[in-house]
Structure formats: structure tokens, C-alpha cells
């Protein structure tokens, strides 16, 4: 990573997150034709360009050049691109917060779907949720490009079988609670069963 | 488990039969609005659950076969297949509720019908437990099938406690919720029964107080009854009673009891009163007879009456004769007057024709003389003697009439006197006879009463003497009865010893019962207290259990929501539970984490596009994160509705990621959207299949399909091929 890139902390984080989620980095040529692009990635579904700007104002002034650079990048694939031409994404990064008077212009850029879908990420997004790390916040902003992480396991244990372990102090012994649950399953009167257990009169049959 | 071949007959707008093969990883079903896309989705849901997802009648109005039928092929990851068939007759106007649908499951060595088939579907497709079969099947459909607007309805239309119950079932807490509900119902019933038992205890306490009071009263009565020498008083009284009865002519038995004596005395008292009343009435009757008032012995004899009658009869004969004389004289006078009138008439005529010769015979006549004589005939009235004789006869008749009238008056007066005298005599006879009868009755009455009375006294005097004796007897009997009653009451009080013992036993029994009920109630109240504590814990756990599942789901929900990013500042969505007035509730909330602002009801506050995008992410989070069904399929019916371009692209990108985990069936009315989906969800290896099913035509028999497979992109990396 070059010195210049270190200035772009948010963009660097974007690149890290994409790489960590399996996106392959695309080598950018040094001839300057892809200058506005800071990073580029590809996965089987999409081609992603990342363009970093110092401020929102710079972003508003330079995003079209970034889009052109993205077009040049995609053109490398020539006629083999096929349907993937519809899967180009341009991540526009502003390293500073977006001032109030730029928000309309930024929203318009986000809403522009020509050629590539645009994601705009600023330092605001990196700090969006103070309970998350910056990378986590950035990952959230990159969600449209990242694979889904499903819960590792979904269990459907019978919640009644572990009920006594979950309850606080109730004055009911676990085996008595089991007896009441058993009565419920057999369609017997619940409190009568509890009463008979509490008073030692034996369970209902 | 995924969907395969689907066959639909006579369902909704499909009157004939439509067959559609869904056995691909992604099925894009596109066609114009009204061409039956939703009908296909609804038929699948109806076949699996038995309910039309939109509550409509599944039967086609144009049914060609007379029945409504749908079959859905289910394919397991191991390529085992089962076919669920559901059928209902379609007899036209008959109400659906009256018709039974039949369900069959066939395949992989099973063939099940009816309840067994329904159980198999529930067991195989629904992971959740508890709740009713209807709720489970609703959960099944809710979890794989996103109808247009349905999730917004879930977020906006349903109440917060309904949302909690539905989501509890979805996360597998249905059995817990059922138990909590049943326990709460039982606890309330127990509490009501405690109130009833408290009331019962209160009643028992009242009865116990009454029993104790009765014991005290009986003890007091017994103390009072035991003060006198009761046997001696009883014997003395019996002697007096026996004497009184004998005096009155009643012969009492030797072993006369107190009760018998009192009864006999009461009878005797009544008899004496009846007898006394009889005598009083008889005396009053005798004194009430009035002697006749008519004069007797006036002196008018029958001879005097006869004589007077003879005088009257004689005068009546004289009066008849005088009347006859008057009549005859009047008749003679009338005859004479008629004759003179005839002569006068003739004289008048003759005078008009008189001359010197007779107009009749022609002889010469003295005209003057003749005229005088004729004139004399005209002026002669005649009859003077007869008129006087008539006047005399009339006067004689009047005199006789006057005498007769006087004598008749005399006779009438004598007859009246005589009649009055005869009536007086008759009344006297009646008076005498009645007095004799009454006296005889009185004597009979007096004779029937055993009493001492002088036989020489006149009947009325004797009767008064007997009456006085009866009055004395009644006074004696009244005294005896009063004393006898007192004795009887005291003897009865002595008999209450056994009553007192029974009352004491009863009171002891009541005390025992009161103590038992009191102890039972205390134990049941203790159980009620424990049940209340347990109930609070159960509700807390029920909420916590769901929260734990929601927390597990939250990262996925965050990913899905962020992928579409419906709102620029409210960048987080969550489902949160709360307990409000004892009920667990669930609400969706949107948050702006950077400013700590919460939007409590985003379904109502966001724009339609934003709310729909949020609803889709929540639905997908349910399906992927909670996995309440074993059906690894997501059916989205025209999700494009009301989504703007950015959200639409976000949705498509999201679906591309979902397709790696679920079979996707997406319907759309927009060919461009369909084409976009086909490009973006293109298969990247030969093992995956993406079908585009175009509804090319529609008529009353149903839709016609044109199926095309999307070609796989077998070299997906275009720029980094070498790197890869």
C-alpha cells in the first residue's frame, strides 16, 4: 500500500473489507488511465471500483471521472463481459464527513444507476454506529456487495424442555415444573397439578 | 425441501389445467397483470396449507372439471420426491365451508390421505411446535411466501400482541406460548376458585355462629324447664281435666295422656261454644217472634152482612126496573115525534097546492079551513104528556140509584171490617204455631246438654240456666288449656336435651369443617401465590426466549436491511418485544444509531417504497434467520410494487445472495425487471438452473407458459481470471 493510500483511511478500510469477504483485487495499470480509481475488485458476480476523495466536495466534483475510469476498467474484459456488464459497482469514498449542504448532491449520486450502481461512503459511515468498530460500520455500508452471513445454526429445540433452567426463583422445584408441563401436554388441570406437588399430595393421573 | 412440478386445475382464474415446472434454483415468472401469477402462488399455498392466502374462495367460477385441484411436488436435497394433492368439489353455488377438501401425499414409499397427510405436511415442512394446525400452516405460508403488501400488513395492520404471538410461533416458541397462555388461564381460574372458597368459608363461619347460638338457646330453655316439680303438676292437671270432661259427659280413658287430655278439652270447648251459641240463637229467635196487630171481635155478624146484601140486591132490581121505564117512555116519545114530523111534511106540501078543490079528488073544499087545519098541523109539536112522563121516570130512576149507592157503600164497609178480622185470626194461628216450634227446638237443645236445671222452670228460663252453666264450663276449660299448654311446653323443653346434643354435634362438625376449609384455602392461596410468581417468570422467559432468537437473527437483519438501505439516516431496523399490561407485545423499530434516535412505527412513517423495502428485508430475515420451515424456497409475488430504482437494484442484488441459500420463485409484471433478474441471477455453473417462465397468453381456461432456461456464465471472472 503506497503512502498516498494511507491518507485514505476509509477507502483503505473499504478495500480491506472487500478483500476479507472474498473479492479479488484487480491490478490497476500505472498509465494513469484509471487514475480516479483507488482500488478495483472482482468477484464472480460483480466488478467493483473504489474511488477515494478527500472531501464530499471533491467527490461531487470528481465522481464522473471515477465513473469514466470504471468504464475503462470494464472495457479491459472486451466482449467477454456479457451479463456481468450489469454488475458493476462504484464505491465513492469521502474521507471527511458530508456537510449538510452537500447531502442533496450526494443523494443524487447515490440515486444515479447509469452504468454502475453507486455506493457513497464517508467518514460519517465509518462512525455511524458508535457500538461497532469502524470496519464493522464500513462493512455495513458495503452490505450490497458482501455475501450473506447466515446464522451458523438454527435450532428448534422444544422451549419447554429447558424451561426450568431458564426461570429465576419461583418456589417451584424443577421436577414439579416438569410435572406441570407434563400435565399441560396431557390436557390436565395445571394449577391443580402444581398444588398437589406443592402440598405433597402426589401428582394427578 | 424445494418445489418441483405444480399442477393447478379449476383454481381461481384457471378454469382448465395449468402445469408448471418449478424445479430450478431460480424461477422468474413474468406476465402482465391479471395473467395469473398470483394465482399460481396462491394455489401452491392452498395445496400445502388448505387455506387461500388471501382468504378468497379457491374455486374457479369457470371450472371445466367440476372440481378444484392442485398438486405440488416437493423435492428433498437427496432428490427424493413427494407429491401433495389437494382437491375440493366445485359444484357451483354451494358454499365452500360445506365442502370437504381431500388431501393426499404420495411418493417415496408413502401414500397418505386426510389427517395422516396433513400431519405429514406439518411434520415435514413446519419446524415450529405448539399452536394449532391452522396456525402452523399459516406460519408455513407466511414464512416462505411474501405476498404483495402482506408483510407491510404484518408490520402495520396487526396488533402488537398478535405480532408477538405470530413471531413466537415462527421462532419455535409456540409451545412455550401455548403453555404460558394455558398456565395463565388456569391461574386465573384458580384465583376465581379461591374467591369462591373464601365466600364458602364466610358462609361456614356464619353457619357456625348460628349453630353455637342455637346451643346456647337450648341450654337456657332446658335450665328453665327443670325448675318446677313437673310430674306432680302434670298429675294434678290431669285429674282436673278428667273431672271437667266427666262433668261435660265425656268419659276419659284411664291412661289419659297430657296431649290426649288437651285435645279432648279443646274438642269439649268447641262443643260447649257450639251448644251455647245454639241456645243463644234459639232464645233470640223466640224473642224475635212478634204477635199479630189486627183487631179482633169487631161485632159485624154474618147476618148483618146478609141483610145488607139483600137490601142491596132489592135496590139493584128496583134500579133495573126504573131504568126500563125510562127506556120505554123515551121510545114512545121518539115514535110520536117521528109521526108529527111526517104530518108536518105532508102539510107543507099540501099548503103549496091548496085551492078550492081538492087536488086529489077534485071535491070542493073550504080552502081557508083547510089552510088553518094544515097550518095547525105544521105548528103542533105534540107529545107534552109523554115528555113529562119521561121526566118523571128519569127522576124516579135517579132516586133509586142514589139509594143503591148508599147501600152498596154500607155493604163494602161491613165486608172490609169482616176481612180484617179474618186476617188477624189467621196471623194469630201462625204466631202460635211458630212459638210452639221454637220452644220445642229450645227444649230439645237444652235436653241434649248434660247440665243441672230445674225441670219445672219454663223452657226459656231453663235454657238461660243451662247457658250460664256452659259459660262457666268454658272458663274452666280455658284455664285448664292454658295450664296444660304451659305444662306441654315445659315437657317439650325437657325433650330438647337430645336436640341440644345434636346441635352441639352439629356445631362441632361445623367447626371441624371450617378448620378444614380454612386450612385448605390457606394451602391453595399459597399455591396461588407461587403460581403468580411462576406466571411472571414465564412471561419474562417467553419474552426473553423470543428476544434471544431475535438477537440471533439481528446481524442477518442488519445485513439484509443494509443491502437495500431504504433510509439514509434510519440505518438499522429491529424487532423489539415489551410487556405492556401483562401482555407480551412486539413492534418493529428503525434507528439512527449515530444520533440515538428511534422511529417506533416505521411501517407507518416511512415512504411506501422505503416501507416495502424494509418489509422485504424483515421477511427474508425471518425465512433465512429463523428458518421456521423446512421448505427451502422463497416465493416473492411481484416484489417490485412501489419500489424505486435504487431499492429495486438493492433488492435484486440481495436476491442474488439469497439464491445461494434458497430456491427463489419471483413473479413480476415488468419484463425489464424480469430480464434484469435473469441477467443478475444467471447461473455460474452447470449445476444451477435459472428458468424464465413467461405467461404468453391467458383465457378463461388459464394461462399458457413459455419456459426458457438462462444460459450459465461458466467463466464469471473477467478481469482476474489469471489471479484466480
pLDDT tens by residue, B218-245: 888 777 766 557 778 888 888 888 888 8
pLDDT at residue B549, rounded to an integer: 79
Percent of chain B with pLDDT over 70: 92
Residue B163 pLDDT level (bands cut at 50, 70, 90): low
Q: Inter-chain contact A45–B537, Cβ cutoff 8 Å?
A: no
Q: Inter-chain contact B530–A159, Cβ cutoff 8 Å?
A: no
Range A51-72 average pLDDT? 93
Question: Residue B171 pLDDT more than 60?
Answer: yes
pLDDT at residue B198, rounded to an integer: 92
Q: Inter-chain contact A83–B559, Cβ cutoff 8 Å?
A: no
Question: Residue B295 pLDDT more than 60?
Answer: no
Looking at B194-208, B425-439, B522-536, which range is the least confident one?
B425-439
- Is B52:B42 a contact under the CB 8 Å cutoff? yes
pLDDT at residue B574, rounded to an integer: 80
DSSP E strands: which ranges in B49-200?
Answer: 67-75, 81-89, 101-107, 110-113, 145-146
Question: Residue B699 pLDDT more than 90?
Answer: no
- Is B32:B92 a contact under the CB 8 Å cutoff? no
Looking at the complex, report in whole angstroms how far the Cα of residue A4 sits from the nearest Cα belonging to chain B.
24
Give the range with max mean pLDDT: A97-111, A121-135, B295-309.
A97-111
A–B: how many Cβ contacts below 8 A?
A: 184
Nearest to B718 among A84, A113, A140 (CB): A84
pLDDT digits (tens, 9 = 90+) for A20-58: 999 999 988 766 677 788 899 999 999 999 999 999 999
Q: What is the mean pLDDT of chain A?
A: 85
Q: Establish if A147 touches chain B: CB-CB under 8 angstroms.
A: yes
pLDDT digits (tens, 9 = 90+) for B76-115: 999 999 999 999 887 666 777 777 788 999 998 899 998 8
DSSP assignment letter at A29: P
Q: Which of B131, B522, B527 to mutate to test the interface with A (most CBs of A within 10 A)?
A: B527
Range B661-665 average pLDDT? 93
| Helix, strand, coil percentages for chain B (3-state, nearest 5) | 60, 15, 25
Question: Residue A139 pLDDT more than 80?
Answer: yes
Give the range with max mean pLDDT: A165-174, B20-29, B442-451.
B20-29
Nearest to A77 among B628, B649, B718 (CB): B718
Exposed, middle or buried: residue B156 (CB in 10 Å: 0-12, 13-18, 19+)?
A: middle
Looking at A175-189, B13-27, B350-364, B694-708, which range is the least confident one?
B350-364
Give the range with max mean pLDDT: B50-59, B136-145, B146-155, B706-715.
B706-715
pTM greater than 0.80 (yes/no)? no
The span from the CA of A22 to the CA of A19, in Å, is 5
Question: Residue B605 pLDDT more than 90?
Answer: no
ipTM: 0.84
pLDDT at residue A3, rounded to an integer: 40
Pairing outcome for strands B633-637 and B145-146: parallel
Q: What is the mean pLDDT of chain B?
A: 84
The span from the CA of A191 to the CA of B486, in Å, is 61
Q: Which of A132, A148, A149, A167 to mutate to test the interface with B (most CBs of B within 10 A)?
A: A148
pLDDT at residue A109, rounded to an integer: 93
- Tell me which of B302 and B562 has the higher pLDDT: B562
Residues of B whose CB is below 8 A from A21: none
The span from the CA of B719 to the CA of A45, in Å, is 12
Range B275-286 average pLDDT? 89
**Nearest Cα to B663, choosing from B704, B686, B630?**
B630
Cα distances (Å, whole numbers) of residue A27 to A47, A49, B395, B723: 12, 11, 189, 10
pLDDT digits (tens, 9 = 90+) for B551-560: 888 888 888 8
pLDDT at residue B202, rounded to an integer: 92
Count CB neighbours of B65 within 10 A: 13
Question: Residue A203 pLDDT more than 50?
Answer: no
Give residues 51 to 70 of A whose Cβ lies within 8 Å of B: none
DSSP letters for B8-24 = EEEETTEEEEEEEE--S
Q: Inter-chain contact A129–B572, Cβ cutoff 8 Å?
A: yes
pLDDT at residue B414, rounded to an integer: 84
Q: Inter-chain contact A171–B534, Cβ cutoff 8 Å?
A: yes
pLDDT at residue B527, rounded to an integer: 92
DSSP letters for B114-179 = HHHHHHHHHHHHB---SS-HHHHHHHHHHHHEE-TTHHHIIIIIS-HHHHHHHHHHHTT-HHHHHH
The span from the CA of B310 to the CA of B30, in Å, is 152
Count CB neighbours of B329 within 10 A: 19
Give the range with max mean pLDDT: A145-154, B360-369, B480-489.
B480-489
pLDDT at residue A204, rounded to an integer: 41
Residue B130 pLDDT level (bands cut at 50, 70, 90): low
The span from the CA of B23 to the CA of B19, in Å, is 12
Residues of B whose CB is below 8 A from A44: 684, 716-717
Q: Inter-chain contact A25–B552, Cβ cutoff 8 Å?
A: no
Looking at A37-46, B68-77, B161-170, B183-192, which range is the least confident one?
B161-170
Residues facing residue B692 across a β-bridge:
B28, B708
pLDDT at residue A7, rounded to an integer: 64
The span from the CA of B163 to the CA of B238, in Å, is 93
Residue B610 pLDDT level (bands cut at 50, 70, 90): confident
φ, ψ dihedrals at B57, nearest 5°? -75, 125
Q: Inter-chain contact B660–A157, Cβ cutoff 8 Å?
A: no
| Residues whose CB falls within 8 Å of the CB of residue B437, separated by 6 or more in sequence, listed in order | none
- Tell me which of B388 and B576 has the higher pLDDT: B388
Residues facing residue B660 across a β-bridge:
none
Looking at the complex, report in whole angstroms how far the Cα of residue A117 sits from the nearest Cα belonging to chain B.
8
Q: Inter-chain contact A190–B568, Cβ cutoff 8 Å?
A: no
Q: Which of B559, B613, B677 to mutate to test the interface with A (most CBs of A within 10 A)?
A: B559
Here the cell at position B43 is: 394455489
The span from the CA of A85 to the CA of A79, in Å, is 10
Question: Residue B177 pLDDT more than 50?
Answer: yes
Question: Residue A88 pLDDT more than 70?
Answer: yes
Q: Inter-chain contact B175–A191, Cβ cutoff 8 Å?
A: no
Looking at A40-44, B128-132, B315-319, B592-596, which range is the least confident one?
B128-132
Relative orientation angle of helices B160-170 and B174-225, to the nearest 10 degrees: 120
3-state secondary structure B391-437: HHHHHHHHHHHHHHHHHHHHHHHHHHHHHHHHHHHHHHHHHHHHHHH
Q: Inter-chain contact B718–A111, Cβ cutoff 8 Å?
A: no
Q: Which of A70, A100, A154, A201 to mutate to test the interface with B (most CBs of B within 10 A)?
A: A154
Q: Establish if A204 touches chain B: CB-CB under 8 angstroms.
A: no
Q: Inter-chain contact A113–B649, Cβ cutoff 8 Å?
A: yes
- Is B86:B47 a contact under the CB 8 Å cutoff? yes
Q: Inter-chain contact A191–B649, Cβ cutoff 8 Å?
A: no
Residue B382 pLDDT level (bands cut at 50, 70, 90): low
Range B324-346 average pLDDT? 87
Percent of chain B with pLDDT over 90: 22
Q: Which of B623, B720, B722 to mutate to test the interface with A (most CBs of A within 10 A)?
A: B720
Q: Inter-chain contact A191–B186, Cβ cutoff 8 Å?
A: yes
Residue B297 pLDDT level (bands cut at 50, 70, 90): low
Alpha carbon B38 to its chain's center: 51
Residue B8 pLDDT level (bands cut at 50, 70, 90): very high
Question: Residue B165 pLDDT more than 90?
Answer: no
For CA atoms B233, B235, B240, B245, the dihedral sign is: positive
Question: Residue B684 pLDDT more than 60?
Answer: yes
**Nearest Cα to B171, choosing from A156, A164, A152?**
A156
Q: Establish if A45 touches chain B: CB-CB under 8 angstroms.
A: yes
For CA atoms A133, A134, A138, A141, the dihedral sign is: positive
- Tell me which of A187 and B626 has the higher pLDDT: A187
pLDDT at residue A1, rounded to an integer: 38
Question: Residue A104 pLDDT more than 50?
Answer: yes
pLDDT digits (tens, 9 = 90+) for B202-218: 999 999 999 899 888 88
Amino acid at each position: 500500500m503506497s503512502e498516498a493510500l494511507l491518507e485514505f483511511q476509509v477507502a483503505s478500510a473499504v478495500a480491506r473489507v472487500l478483500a476479507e469477504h472474498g473479492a479479488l483485487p484487480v491490478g490497476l495499470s500505472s498509465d494513469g488511465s484509471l487514475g480516479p480509481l483507488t482500488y478495483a475488485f472482482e468477484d464472480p458476480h460483480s466488478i467493483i471500483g473504489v474511488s477515494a476523495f478527500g472531501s464530499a466536495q471533491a467527490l461531487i466534483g470528481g465522481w464522473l471521472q471515477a465513473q469514466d475510469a470504471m468504464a475503462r476498467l470494464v472495457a479491459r474484459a472486451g466482449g467477454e463481459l456479457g451479463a456481468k456488464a450489469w454488475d458493476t459497482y462504484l464505491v465513492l469514498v469521502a474521507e471527511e464527513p458530508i456537510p449538510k449542504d452537500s447531502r442533496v448532491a450526494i443523494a443524487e449520486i447515490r440515486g444515479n444507476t447509469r452504468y454502475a450502481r453507486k455506493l457513497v461512503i464517508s467518514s460519517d459511515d465509518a462512525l455511524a454506529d458508535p457500538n461497532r468498530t469502524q470496519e464493522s460500520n464500513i462493512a455495513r455500508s458495503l452490505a450490497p456487495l458482501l455475501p450473506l452471513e447466515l446464522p451458523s445454526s438454527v435450532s428448534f429445540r422444544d422451549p419447554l424442555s429447558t424451561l426450568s433452567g431458564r426461570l429465576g426463583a419461583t418456589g417451584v422445584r424443577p421436577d414439579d415444573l416438569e410435572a406441570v408441563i407434563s400435565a399441560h401436554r396431557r390436557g390436565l388441570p395445571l394449577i391443580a397439578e402444581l398444588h398437589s406437588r406443592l402440598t405433597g399430595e402426589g401428582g394427578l393421573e | 425441501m424445494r418445489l418441483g412440478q405444480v399442477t393447478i386445475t379449476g383454481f381461481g382464474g384457471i378454469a382448465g389445467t395449468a402445469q408448471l415446472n418449478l424445479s430450478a434454483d431460480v424461477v422468474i415468472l413474468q406476465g402482465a397483470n391479471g395473467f395469473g401469477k398470483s394465482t399460481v402462488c396462491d394455489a401452491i399455498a392452498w395445496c400445502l396449507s388448505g387455506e387461500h392466502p388471501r382468504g378468497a374462495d379457491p374455486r374457479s367460477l369457470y371450472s371445466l372439471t367440476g372440481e378444484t385441484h392442485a398438486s405440488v411436488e416437493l423435492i428433498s436435497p437427496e432428490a427424493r420426491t413427494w407429491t401433495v394433492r389437494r382437491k375440493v368439489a366445485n359444484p357451483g353455488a354451494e358454499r365452500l365451508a360445506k365442502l370437504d377438501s381431500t388431501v393426499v401425499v404420495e411418493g417415496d414409499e408413502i401414500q397418505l390421505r386426510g389427517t395422516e397427510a396433513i400431519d405429514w405436511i406439518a411434520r415435514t415442512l413446519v419446524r415450529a411446535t405448539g399452536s394449532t394446525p391452522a396456525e402452523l400452516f399459516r406460519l408455513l405460508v407466511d414464512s416462505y411466501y411474501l405476498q404483495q403488501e402482506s408483510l407491510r400488513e404484518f408490520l402495520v395492520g396487526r396488533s402488537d400482541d398478535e405480532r408477538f404471538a405470530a413471531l413466537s410461533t415462527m421462532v419455535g416458541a409456540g409451545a412455550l406460548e401455548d403453555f404460558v397462555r394455558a398456565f395463565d388461564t388456569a391461574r386465573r381460574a384458580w384465583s376465581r376458585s379461591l374467591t369462591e372458597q373464601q365466600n364458602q368459608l364466610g358462609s361456614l363461619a356464619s353457619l357456625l355462629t348460628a349453630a353455637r347460638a342455637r346451643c346456647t338457646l337450648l341450654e337456657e330453655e332446658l335450665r328453665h324447664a327443670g325448675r318446677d316439680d313437673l310430674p306432680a303438676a302434670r298429675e294434678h292437671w290431669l285429674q282436673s281435666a278428667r273431672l271437667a270432661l266427666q262433668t261435660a259427659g265425656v268419659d276419659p280413658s284411664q291412661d289419659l295422656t297430657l296431649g290426649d287430655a288437651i285435645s279432648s278439652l279443646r274438642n269439649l270447648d268447641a262443643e260447649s261454644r257450639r251448644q251455647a251459641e245454639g241456645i243463644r240463637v234459639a232464645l233470640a229467635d223466640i224473642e224475635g217472634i212478634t204477635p199479630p196487630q189486627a183487631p179482633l171481635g169487631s161485632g159485624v155478624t154474618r147476618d148483618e152482612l146478609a141483610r145488607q146484601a139483600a137490601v142491596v140486591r132489592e135496590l139493584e132490581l128496583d134500579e133495573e126496573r126504573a131504568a126500563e121505564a125510562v127506556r120505554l117512555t123515551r121510545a114512545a116519545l121518539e115514535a110520536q115525534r117521528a109521526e108529527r114530523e111526517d104530518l108536518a111534511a105532508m102539510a107543507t106540501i099540501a099548503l103549496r097546492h091548496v085551492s078550492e078543490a081538492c087536488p086529489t079528488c077534485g071535491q070542493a073544499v073550504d080552502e081557508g079551513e083547510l089552510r088553518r087545519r094544515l097550518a095547525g098541523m105544521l105548528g103542533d109539536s105534540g107529545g107534552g104528556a109523554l115528555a113529562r112522563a119521561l121526566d118523571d121516570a128519569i127522576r124516579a130512576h135517579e132516586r133509586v140509584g142514589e139509594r143503591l149507592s148508599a147501600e152498596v157503600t154500607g155493604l163494602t164497609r161491613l165486608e172490609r171490617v169482616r176481612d180484617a178480622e179474618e186476617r188477624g185470626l189467621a196471623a194469630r194461628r201462625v204466631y202460635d204455631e211458630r212459638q210452639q216450634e221454637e220452644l220445642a227446638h229450645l227444649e230439645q237443645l237444652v235436653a241434649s246438654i248434660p247440665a243441672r236445671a230445674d225441670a219445672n222452670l219454663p223452657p226459656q228460663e231453663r235454657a238461660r240456666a243451662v247457658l250460664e252453666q256452659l259459660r262457666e264450663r268454658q272458663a274452666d276449660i280455658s284455664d285448664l288449656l292454658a295450664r296444660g299448654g304451659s305444662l306441654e311446653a315445659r315437657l317439650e323443653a325437657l325433650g330438647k336435651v337430645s336436640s341440644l346434643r345434636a346441635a352441639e354435634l352439629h356445631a362441632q362438625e361445623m367447626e371441624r369443617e371450617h378448620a378444614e376449609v380454612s386450612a385448605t384455602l390457606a394451602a391453595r392461596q399459597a399455591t396461588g401465590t407461587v403460581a403468580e410468581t411462576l406466571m411472571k417468570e414465564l412471561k419474562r422467559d417467553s419474552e426473553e426466549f423470543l428476544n434471544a432468537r431475535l438477537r440471533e437473527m439481528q446481524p442477518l437483519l442488519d445485513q439484509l436491511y443494509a443491502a437495500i438501505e431504504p433510509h439514509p439516516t434510519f440505518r438499522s431496523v429491529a424487532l423489539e418485544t415489551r410487556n405492556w399490561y401483562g401482555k407480551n407485545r412486539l413492534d418493529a423499530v428503525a434507528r439512527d444509531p449515530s444520533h440515538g434516535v428511534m422511529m417506533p412505527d416505521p411501517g407507518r412513517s416511512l415512504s411506501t417504497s422505503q416501507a416495502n423495502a424494509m418489509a422485504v428485508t424483515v421477511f427474508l430475515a425471518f425465512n433465512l434467520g429463523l428458518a421456521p420451515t423446512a421448505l427451502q424456497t422463497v416465493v416473492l409475488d411481484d416484489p417490485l410494487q412501489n419500489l424505486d430504482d435504487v431499492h429495486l437494484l438493492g433488492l435484486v442484488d440481495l436476491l442474488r445472495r439469497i439464491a445461494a441459500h434458497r430456491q427463489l420463485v419471483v413473479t413480476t409484471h415488468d419484463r425489464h425487471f424480469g430480464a434484469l433478474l435473469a441477467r443478475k441471477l444467471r447461473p455460474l455453473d452447470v449445476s444451477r438452473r435459472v428458468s424464465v417462465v413467461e405467461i404468453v397468453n391467458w383465457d378463461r381456461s388459464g394461462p399458457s407458459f413459455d419456459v426458457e432456461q438462462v444460459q450459465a456464465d461458466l467463466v464469471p471472472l473477467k478481469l482476474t481470471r489469471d489471479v484466480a
